[in-house]
Structure 1
């Protein structure tokens, strides 16, 4: 009988995609008539997405050339940059928070805007991904990611998903927010999968390392078991490489030494878990492999720049950083 290798069938990239679970989602259905324009403010640490249900929209992000979105197209703005959506390039953009809206729920609103001409309907969302693996992946995406369903191999089922999302957004029946959130999960993950499959940039750096059979196994081990007393020797054993070859290859593929990555991963997880009011710092230290709260706190402050207690005190629900909450504060 051969020994079972726990990393033999690991799919490091698949596991990273598994962690793409949205938190703090806020959605809007926009009923627009040309000419119209929306000026969306920056939302740090949020991914924003836009789906054109009917009509069309021009998307302007940073200094990039504008992108024309047609029915069924899905656009991601992964890094929370401010951007504009316009009925045509000459339309004037109105600040988002100046536009009349109806609050269907705490996390869902309906916007009405425009000059009475040709109609456009959009479904938009602002979401966060709190898990450290998701954050690692999101930071590596381009400033705009577009899925044109007319040319996508998965176009038909994407269209079906969009139709279901549009129907839920139109009626917002009991449980509709949950359905929309799950569908948005699927659409965002599919958009990222398509980018990984077609863009050479996805084959380099951390994403490329995840797809390296041996280095990917080591990264999987770190991700699954941050509490283990990892060393170059034990990680090289997981990768089935010599210590020196593993150290050189890990640094080459990932961009940082392996033990630096272990520490950074633990601190990323710590920042995620500190948002949970029920987690004590001492318990967190143990979950990350530290023998004492003091040792963990020293490392955390060295890497992050502030104490874990400061991060815990500063934590707040993500909905406070999303459009509906901002509007509620402005109009209170």
Structure 2
């Protein structure tokens, strides 16, 4: 059998742009594609303005880079602009006017016109969510660390409660170019006197996405969100017959962060069970889950219940701290 490989005809796209502290370089990142390193545009293909379109600096040089093939990174390639005469780095937009046969990906597709807001790559802890009873917390740092230089810094976060170190058991990250979320399990704290502090202590040689050194300590200066254990005894279920969907509503203070429920819901319709399969659910209003019932299930009527019962391949429902919700139900479904 002959194998036909689909041609890549999609131009490269660019997602974010960062300026370095010295205001001499701007880094523009391409998430999904390697670039043709010989196709760098002329410097005058780029312009720098403020939000009103007034000039705000000059581009004097352009270089293209690809990340190594080995390793797990957040991007495939980037543009490095050499810049000067930037008057206001806090109000900066970079524009690219396409040049023929320039700024191409590895398949030869040339980039189209684009513009991006340029921001600082300085890193900060932006959110901390703690589920004390479950012993789980999430620390969000934005933007992402430069993974070409160092790995995700799960071991470089210090957590204390009232000055006493919290006993961290395990750690694991998720990340995009915009941020990294570090999830920790810890020995549950059995006290109502909560005063968590979170500090990031970068290791020597850590760089940000503008290739500047990251120095610390970097302490979280916002309000830590203490997440209560989710009470599933009050969950309500309503069937929307027009959309053929079920809406699960939790208590108002519940904050659902993540759904990975491919086969997690079981409907009982007048004694007949249906396990709903597929990525058929979404979060709305933080405390609601909207579930598409699917065409294999007839319009609901009569005695209907729903049970949340995730299988082994489902990560399930998680709160903002990363704590998973256990099996609950059956819940009567109100038909509307």
Shorter-normalised TM-score: what interval?
A: under 0.3
Larger % of helix: which? Answer: 1
Higher relative contact order (CA 8 A, sep 6+): 1
Q: TM-score, normalised by structure 2?
A: 0.26
- Structure with larger Rg: 2
Q: TM-score, normalised by structure 1?
A: 0.26
Larger % of strand: which? Answer: 2
